[in-house]
A and B are shown apart, each in its own frame.
Chain A
Amino acid sequence: MGTAGDVIVGDRLTKFYGHDRGVEDLTFSVAPGEVFGFLGPNGAGKTTTIRTMLDFIRPTSGTIRLFGLDAHHRGPEIHARVGYLPGELALYERLTGERYLRDFASFRGGIEFGHAGNLAERLGLDLSKRIKDLSHGNKQKVGLVQAFMHRPDLLIMDEPTQGLDPLVQQTFYAMLDEERARGTTVFLSSHVMPEVERVCDRVGIIREGRLATVSDIGDLKARVRRRIELHFDGPAPARAFENLPGVLDVRGHGDELSIAIEGSVDPVIKEAARHTVVNVETHEPSLEDLFLAYFGPNGEAPADDTSGGGNPDPGGAP
């Protein structure tokens, strides 16, 4: 699985905590320059996977390699090229942002500080304040600068936009786009669809410790179901929507229609434009919707083949 140049290669990676499952039999790879999303509900094993990548914990069996090096045996060489943002950020509260970042620059062998200053300025982060006096969002910015400041070849981020206000999220996405343009590989975990849709090229879906599927973001979007509520200025023309491509179900009550769509919403929007629409409401697809799309109403995972996931074309879907 994967090719020699892959930045991350998990090979039957398994981690148990005593009898408790962490992750089981994860086989996947991330190519250079790829933005890879690790999508799954809380407790699915996302953080466990990331912590094995950084050698905080060791696999029970299987291996994980970064830049072709074993995560456990070659930690320092790997870490020099990695920027990491943890899911639960804990900083040295008594230090100022600048002191903190300068310390981390020295832990990284004295990298030049200019880039960190630029990033902080861009994020609107006041580096002269003590970290304990910063808001949650501003602490998160310190974490981001820390992850980006040494221009890493690989960014590993656990739920990166958690706790960022929407404006900062946009800046973060812009920073990520620049990194992508520079050729940086990105591995990020998330439990929300929109974040993954926005930034990722490929997505691995992890459920109960197993990699259920890996798919291109295009395929994911084509499969995912979302619901649109349309509010018309008169009786809702339910009929007009029922036979449009991708429409699964149309429910009407009075002036309102609730339409379930699989894949592109374009046909529905085009049809709606022929009528007078007072209001449109869309619901972001939830993980449950996604699982439903991939695994059907019974929620059974695709046949447990020997690859343990990583199959870009799963069965199971209706």
Chain B
Amino acid sequence: MSGLFAKTVRDQRRALIGWGLGLAAIALMYAAFYPSIKDSASDFDKYLQNLPDAIRNVIGGDFTTPAGYLRSETFSSMGPVLFLVFAIGAGARAIAGEEEDGTLDLLLSTPIRRRQLLVDKIGAMVLTATALATVLFLTLWLVGPPFDLTVPAVDLGAACLLLLLLGLAFGAIALAIGCATGHRGLALGITGGFAVFAFIVNALAPSVDALAWLRPLSPFRWYLDPDPLVSGITPANVLVLLGIAVAGYLVAWYAFERRDLAA
């Protein structure tokens, strides 16, 4: 394990504990609400049937089963929001943040290559995001059953994996923009804006024909369709999200190797 990788993980230790606790608390809260929502599920479903398709696409629309509830409450809303905020922040900070802080110069005045720096930073990002996904999985898996919120561990694991990959994909985009421009704010803004746009496109595309062609370009398209909580792992979805992440890392590498660093 390189010194830089260790340092990067160590720097995130406190943030990671905070995020992990927050994520676990939210998962616990969702689990605890399940019994009462399930009891009034038929009312909910009637209400949902009256909503426009686009909104129903976003929130899922089936509260009667544990899988439907988890999909709507955890994996369609809070889950992606938290993972994207964490991953985009980490991606923007990794290189562009250090460059803006001025700490990158001394780091690169040591024998560490730019490529190695990037590998260590990416490794730390993947490790911390994986830790968060694991926390989410373990919490739902352990506290779900007492509240009748039970889905097969394999399916729950598949959903957590796809959430992790979605986060890594957006984190990689932020990293690439940061590496290409050296501006953390730009990486945050463009990636955040793209995430919102991609989310909306994916939600509206099924009911708006004009948007249909855009949908495959949205990373969200490859996240919950088909629903991992019902059908487990879909290899194509894993590959696409992984592909976006790897492409982002390669663009980051290409750009970072060639660029003049800001003083």
Query: A86-B105, A90-B106, A91-B103 in contact; A76/B113 too (CB < 8 A)?
Result: yes
B204-225 to A contact mask, C-beta < 8 Å, 1/0 = 0000000000000000000000
Q: Does A296 contact B (CB under 8 A)?
A: no
- Bound together, the chains give a CA A57 to CA B105 distance in angstroms of 11
Q: What is the size, in residues, of chain B's interface with A at 8 Å between Cβ atoms?
A: 21
Contact A109 B260 (CB under 8 A): no
Query: A57-B260, A103-B3, A103-B7 in contact; A108/B110 too (CB < 8 A)?
Result: yes
Of A54, A76, A92, the contact of B112 (CB 8 Å cutoff): A76
Contact B108 A86 (CB under 8 A): no
Of A17, A47, A92, A104, the contact of B110 (CB 8 Å cutoff): A104
Q: Does A75 contact B (CB under 8 A)?
A: yes
A244 to nearest B CB, angstroms?
Answer: 47
Q: Which residues of B contact A110 (CB under 8 A)?
A: 3
Q: Does A88 contact B (CB under 8 A)?
A: yes
Query: A76-B113, A90-B101, A90-B102 in contact; A107/B263 too (CB < 8 A)?
Result: no
Contact B102 A108 (CB under 8 A): no
Can you list 30 residue pairs at the A/B interface with Cβ under 8 Å? A17-B260, A47-B263, A51-B261, A51-B263, A54-B109, A55-B108, A56-B260, A56-B263, A57-B260, A76-B112, A79-B112, A82-B109, A84-B105, A84-B109, A86-B102, A86-B105, A86-B109, A88-B102, A88-B263, A90-B105, A92-B103, A94-B11, A103-B7, A106-B6, A107-B3, A107-B111, A108-B110, A108-B111, A110-B3, A143-B106
Q: Does B51 contact A (CB under 8 A)?
A: no
Q: Which residues of A contact B111 (CB under 8 A)?
A: 75-77, 79-80, 107-109
Q: Does A58 contact B (CB under 8 A)?
A: yes
Chain B residue at smallest Cβ distance from A78: B111
Contact B110 A79 (CB under 8 A): yes
Q: Which residues of A contact B109 (CB under 8 A)?
A: 54, 79, 82, 84, 86
B43 to nearest A CB, angstroms?
Answer: 51
- Bound together, the chains give a CA A90 to CA B107 distance in angstroms of 10
Q: Does A146 contact B (CB under 8 A)?
A: yes
List the 10 shortest-distance A-B pairs measured between CB atoms, nearest first: A106-B3, A90-B102, A84-B109, A57-B260, A107-B110, A76-B111, A80-B111, A56-B261, A79-B111, A90-B103
Chain A residue at smallest Cβ distance from B110: A107
Question: Which residues of A138-195 are within 8 A (CB) of B?
Answer: 143, 146
Q: Which residues of B contact A88 (CB under 8 A)?
A: 102, 263
A36-63 to B contact mask, C-beta < 8 Å, 1/0 = 0000000000010001001111100000
Q: Does B41 contact A (CB under 8 A)?
A: no
Q: Which residues of B contact A54 (CB under 8 A)?
A: 105, 108-109
Q: Which residues of A contact B108 (CB under 8 A)?
A: 54-56, 79
B22 to nearest A CB, angstroms?
Answer: 21
Q: Which residues of B contact A109 (CB under 8 A)?
A: 111
A61-88 to B contact mask, C-beta < 8 Å, 1/0 = 0000000000000011101101010101
Question: Which residues of B91-148 are within 8 A (CB) of A?
Answer: 101-103, 105-113
- Bound together, the chains give a CA A75 to CA B261 distance in angstroms of 15
Q: Does B28 contact A (CB under 8 A)?
A: no
9 more contacts with CB within 8 A, not counting A56-B261, A86-B105, are A47-B263, A51-B263, A75-B111, A84-B105, A84-B106, A88-B263, A90-B101, A106-B7, A143-B106
Q: Which residues of A contact B102 (CB under 8 A)?
A: 86, 88-90
A158 to nearest B CB, angstroms?
Answer: 10
- Bound together, the chains give a CA A47 to CA B107 distance in angstroms of 17
Chain B residue at smallest Cβ distance from A87: B263
Chain B residue at smallest Cβ distance from A52: B260
Q: Which residues of A contact B3 (CB under 8 A)?
A: 103, 106-107, 110
B113 to nearest A CB, angstroms?
Answer: 5
Contact B113 A75 (CB under 8 A): yes
Q: Which residues of B contact A91 (CB under 8 A)?
A: 103, 106
B52 to nearest A CB, angstroms?
Answer: 48
Q: Does B4 contact A (CB under 8 A)?
A: yes
Of B2, B106, B113, B261, the contact of A57 (CB 8 Å cutoff): B261
Q: Which residues of A contact B103 (CB under 8 A)?
A: 90-92
Chain B residue at smallest Cβ distance from A94: B11
B1-25 to A contact mask, C-beta < 8 Å, 1/0 = 0111011000100000000000000
- Bound together, the chains give a CA A266 to CA B104 distance in angstroms of 48
Q: Which residues of B contact A92 (CB under 8 A)?
A: 11, 103
Query: A47-B263, A56-B260, A57-B260 in contact; A107/B105 too (CB < 8 A)?
Result: no
